[in-house]
Structure 1
Amino acid sequence: MPAASSQVCAFSISEVKTELRKLGTGKAADLMGLTVELLRWGVLFLVSFITQCINRACADGLPEEWTWRGVVPLHKAGPKRDPYNYRTIMVANLFSKLLGRLLDARLTTWCESSGARASAQAGFRQGFTTIDHALTLRTVMEGARRLKNLLYVLFVDFAKAFDSIPRIWLWERLLAIGVPQDLVNTIAVLYSRVIVKARPQGLGVSSTLGVIQGCPLPPCLFGLVIDELFWNNQVTCAVLGDIHVPMLLFADDVALIATSQAEMQQHLKGLEDFCSKTSMKVNLAKTLWLQVGSSPGISVEFQGQPVDKCKVYKYLVVLYGATTWGPSLPKTSWKKLESLQKSFLSEELGVRSQIPNSLLRAETARLPLGIEALIESITYARRLRNQASDRYSTQALKASRSHGWYADLTRWAARWGLSESFWDSVDIREELTHLVVRKLWHEPSPRQCYYLRDISPLLPYKEKPYLSINDRKVRHAFARFRISAHTLNVEEGRWKNIPREDRICSVCTLGKVEDEYHTLLVCPGFSDLRESFHISATNLKELFALQTLSLGLFILTVEKARQLALQNSNV
């Protein structure tokens, strides 16, 4: 606990109101049964009282209930009797969580305005994303390959990083970088007593080590701890444009970059000193390194133990960040990914996999995955062009203009008629949506013609309202009749090559083709159902414009009645 001063922060009503509105709703209640909604709905009447409570707690100490943290264990993998196979989630007291947000806002504002954050750190910082580091790493590695230089990347995994930092060292670190004394004191008040409980009425266990889980403040606090790796670094190593890139930090994910064994040894020495100071431990089972270049490799040891070498490493979200790898992916790979998208949409709508992709996408307003990736990539590139020139990701963009990511992106966009000069003057999503719709519906099939004529126009390209109905069976019934994925004779006969005029309704004696219009609006076999559900539409477009739960239940009931009628006729 800092002892230099007893001064603490005082928060304004405006600050409390702002942070209260940022608290997410729909979350579990705390150990006292309080939910965010209770405070959010009464913010106009309660904000003054809440502000007084928080300021009084900071000055006099937190009430007992504010110190409680509910622990919820989540099994990860392995034997369930092994406690190390569980990840814990902490449910914070609502008032202490709000205090954490207030402190996080103050600390973040001070750190960013005073330049206290490491330029290599992208974790939990506004305006930074995991994609920034994924792009930077890709560009550095591509540059090394192109120039035939050696490059080594050590991916460090810390063991229970957030739980191992001594709090006394944390306060010393904050004061050392110049954080105002009253802010450090107030943070220490929040940490002065932390009681972890498995049940509201059960006995608690005092937590005295690490940052508090379930609190908004730790990401910034822990980031400042990891930043020390950067500030104490002496390695110049890889060059990206006009700047050196010795490491990439994202919260507790650390990638150390070197161009020689000597530089790697400097990194390892700095890492050992850092762990000794912070009591953090490196998990050697998950810490790996890789080499770019074919020259003889180096040996990498940490605290006398060898570190395993790998050929492939899943860094951050690079396997999911299509913004980074999408521009370089061949068409054949995109087709494989889009077949997976089609399977998902078919499952979501409850229809057969043979249904055309264009119909599935029209109902769900989904674009091909490749187009979504292109939109995100162009949007990301526009952001990079407007950010500070000393950012790693900005330098990565400049370095890849002739080779690599940005060059691939401009070629990809040009194939869709979007030259770089148009990126800032058009709505990229709207432009590509129109291009895709025109391409997929240029020569409509019979199913597409039915959809356009009787169901829905393609534009505006929005998800259909019936998909928000909670009852899955109703949603599926809706979808089957809207995109001709049902078992009516008009569709089944097509698969059996029966002439359309011979696909007669089996429920009635009118001798009409059993299609959607006949079944839902004409067939006398279901006239009583139409009366019960008050169906008065005279055509399918009028009928399907409703998209209500009642209409969905009507369609589902007709399907069941038809199936029963067919079973009885076969007896």
Structure 2
Amino acid sequence: MAVEQSFLHDVKHAPPETDFPPPTWEQFQKIIRKPKPQKAVGLDNLNLYLLSVCPEAIQHYIFSLIHRLWYVELPPKWLEAEIFLLPKGGDPMDPTNYRPIALLGSIYKIFSTHASHYLYSHLANPDTLHQAQFGFRQKHQTIDHVVALACKRSKYPDSYILFLDLSKAFNSVVLKTLFQVLKKSGLPTDFTDFLLRLYHSPLDTPRVNGHRLASHLQHRGLRQGCPLSPGLFALYIDPLLHKLARAINNDTSTSLHAFADDLAIHGTHLETLSRALKVMVEEAKPYGLIINIKKSELHVWGNAPQATITFTHHQQRYSLSSMDKEGKPHSHYKYLGVFFFTDYSARIMQDHFLSIVVSYFSSLPNMILSPKEAVRLINSQLIPK
């Protein structure tokens, strides 16, 4: 109970301006007209695009049905999701190297999309989330986050940056704690009750190799594929950001950067970074969020000396070095889709991108490619869309 109260103590209270009514006809129309025809469908096998082009009488029937069920418990079938596993790379035989994506039914999408619009308007309030959080907020983009880190590097060229990886963050959310955070954050009871109905014993049905497996109840975690999940996670992790900020508060050269579950701490003093890492490990674990030390990295920028952060928590020793397993300094880290290099020399960058090309083609089965096809393959891998 003490840990729980300590966690909730850092939830910011920012009351929204309005209550949470069901969608108007205009809002309903915008929701059903947004998806593209080729959008993946859930277990109901119905794309919202089809609803947008069907006779208006059917649209009015669905609209009135949503209003009738807005304040009551929803049918279990509407809450059921089909789970697909997308490979993230690495050993394909390792289940942890897959990302579960939830394909949700069309009616659920209408409910959750309308709720997400309300939630993100709440997150737009500057008093809702910690200022270090750039993820899923209006007027905050990935490029702003990347530029902020680049500016820190320019201001403190001889420094350190700690990239923290949360292991399966969205899947690890404790739902009971999430709703305690939501209630304390100032969201109206109508909205939190609505979310409770969406998360009332939802069923997940995995599909593996084209076959549906047995359904099971979702007891924890947020569905990746639900429009509400990113915003809910931003609120859930916010108390941890406040604790991290306090850990580095006395060091003006150290800054905290967050984009949803992607965290980076930049500074010139190893003692501060070590203290922040220890706080993150101690405070996150009781709430299902675990730092993946193997995927987290300490990087040295400029002429700062190579270093290792070590500490002990609950008789477990944690160690994070700026050197890789071969004893060489880390050369780069992919953060928010952007490569941050410790050395931006032409040779280092050329070797890195050449290794990407070699790795990509070596992973392909033996096949004869025309020059045009080879160029197309390289472009899809190296050139962002």
What band does the TM-score fall into relative to the shorter chain? 0.7 to 0.9
Distance 1:238 1:163 in 2: 33
1:249 aligned partner, one-letter code: A
CA distance in 2, matches of 1:329, 1:308: 22
Pick the aligned partner of 2:264 from 235, 255, 268. 255
Structure that is richer in strand per residue: 2
Out of 81, 88, 102, the residue aligned to residue 114 of structure 2 is 102
User: Is 1:246 the equivalent of 2:255?
Assistant: yes
Query: Given the superposition, is the C-alpha separation of residues 246 and 35 from structure 1 closer, same or farther in structure 2, using an over 3 Å criterion?
Result: same
2:168 maps to what in 1? 160
After superposition, the Cα gap between the structure-2 partners of 1:348 and 1:112, relative to the gap in structure 1 and judged at 3 Å, is: farther
> Residues 291 and 206 from structure 1, CA distance in 2 versus in 1: closer, same or farther, beyond 3 angstroms?
same
Check whether the contact 1:68–1:196 (CA below 8 A) recurs between aligned residues.
Answer: yes
Per-residue CA shift, 1:304-348, capped at 9, x if unaligned?
311232433222222399xxx9xx998xx89xx9xx9xxxxxx99
Q: Which stretch of the first structure deviates more once superposed, 125-134 or 279-288?
A: 125-134
Letter in 1 for 2:289: M
Instruction: Give how far 1:45 is off.
Output: 4.2
SS of 1:223's partner is: helix
Deviation readout 1:463-506 (Å, 9 max, x if unpaired) = xxxxxxxxxxxxxxxxxxxxxxxxxxxxxxxxxxxxxxxxxxxx
Give the one of 181, 187, 192 matched to 1:173.
181
* Paired residues of 1:170 and 1:225 also in contact (CA < 8 A): yes
The Cα of 1:144 is off from its aligned counterpart by: 1.3
Q: In the alignment, is the contact (CA less than 8 A) between 1:16 and 1:47 conserved in 2?
A: no
Aligned CA distance change for structure 1 residues 143 and 352 (closer, same or farther; 3 Å): closer
- Does residue 133 in structure 1 map to residue 145 in structure 2? yes
Alignment match, 1:317: 337
Query: What is the TM-score normalised by the length of structure 2?
Result: 0.74
Report the CA distance between 1:100 and its aligned residue: 1.3
| 2:311 alignment counterpart | 301
CA contact (8 A) 2:124 2:138 kept: no
Superimposed CA distance per residue, residues 496-537 of structure 1 (whole angstroms, 9 cap, x where no aligned partner):
xxxxxxxxxxxxxxxxxxxxxxxxxxxxxxxxxxxxxxxxxx
- 1:268 is the counterpart of 2:277: yes
Matched AA of 2:319: P
Change (3 A) 1:185 1:302: farther
Shift of 1:154: 1.4
1:9–1:186 Cα contact (<8 Å) kept: no
Could you tell me which residue of structure 1 aligns to residue 290 of structure 2? 281
Structure 1 residues 352 and 283: CA distance shift in structure 2, 3 A: closer
Contact 1:100 1:215 survives alignment (8 Å): yes
Q: Is the 8 A contact 1:164 1:279 kept in 2?
A: yes
- On the 8 A contact 1:166/1:209 being kept in 2, the answer is yes
Query: Which residue type is aligned with residue 174 of structure 1?
Result: L
- Measured at CA, do residues 131 and 329 of structure 1 come closer, stay the same or move farther in structure 2, by a change above 3 Å? farther
**2:264 alignment partner, SS class:** strand
Q: Is the 8 A contact 2:33 2:49 kept in 1?
A: no
Q: Structure 2: any 5+ residue segments left out of the alignment?
A: 1-18, 324-329, 357-368
Contact 1:75–1:85 (8 Å) recurs in 2: yes
Aligned-partner SS, 1:290: strand
AA in 1 matched with 2:311: E
Q: TM-score, normalised by structure 1?
A: 0.51
1:367-418 Cα deviation digits (max 9, x unpaired): xx9xx99xxxxxxxxxxxxxxxxxxxxxxxxxxxxxxxxxxxxxxxxxxxxx
Identity %: 25
**Is 1:191 the equivalent of 2:199?**
yes
Q: Number of residue pairs matched? A: 333
| Structure-1 residue corresponding to 2:86 | 74
Cα distance in 2 between the residues matched to 1:124 and 1:94 = 23
User: What per-residue deviation string (whole Å, max 9, x for no partner) do you get for residues 267-318 of structure 1?
Assistant: 1243134313422111111011123343474534363311232433222222
Contact 1:66 1:93 in 2 (8 A): yes
Partners of 1:351 and 1:190 lie apart in 2 by 46
Residue matched to 1:57:
69
- Please give the alpha-carbon distance, in whole angstroms, between the structure 2 residues aligned to 1:198 and 1:280: 23
Q: Distance in 2 between matches of 1:114 and 1:84?
A: 36
| Number of the residue aligned with 2:9 | none
Q: What letter matches 1:251 in structure 2?
A: A
The secondary structure found in structure 2 opposite 1:178 is: coil
1:27 Cα deviation after fit: 1.6
Is contact 1:89–1:213 with CA below 8 Å preserved after alignment? yes
String of CA shifts for 1:7-28, please: whole Å, max 9, x gaps: 9743322222222233343122
Aligned residue for 1:19, secondary structure, equals helix
| Residue of structure 2 in register with 1:236 after alignment | 249
Pair 1:349–1:210, CA change in 2 (3 A): same
Q: Does 1:221 align with 2:229?
A: no
Deviation at 1:214, TM superposition (A): 1.8
Whose Rg is larger?
Answer: 1
**Deviations along 1:417-463, whole A, 9 cap, x unmatched?**
xxxxxxxxxxxxxxxxxxxxxxxxxxxxxxxxxxxxxxxxxxxxxxx
1:223 CA drift (Å): 1.3
Alignment of 1:539-550 (within 5 A): none
2:219: which partner in 1?
208
Aligned match for 1:142, one of 151, 154, 163: 154
Asked whether the equivalents of residues 237 and 257 of structure 1 are also in contact (C-alpha less than 8 Å), the reply is no
Q: Can you list the C-alpha shifts for 1:231-280, whole angstroms capped at 9, x where unaligned?
A: 232123675xxxx7621111111112333233224312431343134221
Q: Cα gap change, 1:10/1:294 in structure 2, threshold over 3 Å: closer, same or farther?
A: closer
Q: 1:183 to 1:213 in 2, by over 3 A?
A: same
The structure, 1 or 2, with the larger RCO (C-alpha pairs under 8 Å, 6+ apart) is 2
Name whichever structure is richer in helix by fraction.
1
Contact preservation (8 Å) 2:35, 2:49: no
> What do you get for the CA RMSD once the two structures are aligned?
3.9
Matches of 2:370 and 2:190, distance apart in 1: 53
Structure 1 residues 297, 195: closer, same or farther in 2, change over 3 A?
A: same
